[in-house]
Amino acid sequence: MKKDLQVTGNIGLYWTCYRLSRMGWNAMPTACNARGVDIIAYNHDCSRMISVQVKTLSKKNPVPLGSSLDKVMGDFWVVVNNVASDPQTYVLLPQEVKDLAHRGEKSGKVSFWLQPKSYCVEQFHEAWDRIGEPK
């Protein structure tokens, strides 16, 4: 059964919150469709906070980044693909997303993409240790 884009996005968002919570973070989604990060997480006494941008895909596809890399923000980026059957996560830093972004141009319109060959690599796969546990 094909899920709509909002449901697919929710799966990735809540999957990421679940994974962060299992690590000891108090992870909460921000307002849906608001500009900015998707998740704010903090430790037990709020002395450490992180922000996470989540990109969710139904399969191993390129991640659309928009017409500019100015919206690449947060402390971490989590790409979740194969959400309907076997979620696979890739944890990147925003600068890595910018460095790996592919610039495309079609009919004079520029767009940026994160290609699977760039993010679906061992270095980022299930690399939750890059975020670490809250202290």
Q: What percentage of the chain has pLDDT greater than the value 70?
A: 97
Residue 33: the pLDDT is: 67
**Please, what are the domains in the chain?**
5-130 (3.40.1350.10)
- 70 — phi, psi (to 5°)? -65, -25
Give the Cα separation of 101 and 99 in Å (integer).
Answer: 6
Please name the residues in contact with 54: beta carbons below 8 A apart, sequence gap of 6 or more: 9, 12, 13, 16, 38, 39, 77, 78, 79, 80
Q: Name residue, tokens 């809250």.
A: 134
Q: Which among 93, 99, 90, 102 is positioned nearest to 127, based on CA atoms? A: 90
The shares of helix, strand and coil residues in the chain, as percent rounded to the nearest 5, are 25, 30, 40
CA distance 78 to 23: 15
How much is the average pLDDT of 106-121? 96
> What's residue 31's pLDDT?
84
**pTM for this prediction:** 0.93
Tens digit of each residue's pLDDT (9 = 90 or more) over 50-103: 999 999 999 999 999 999 999 899 999 999 999 988 999 999 999 999 999 999
Q: Could you tell me if 90 and 63 are in contact, meaning their C-beta atoms sit under 8 angstroms apart?
A: no
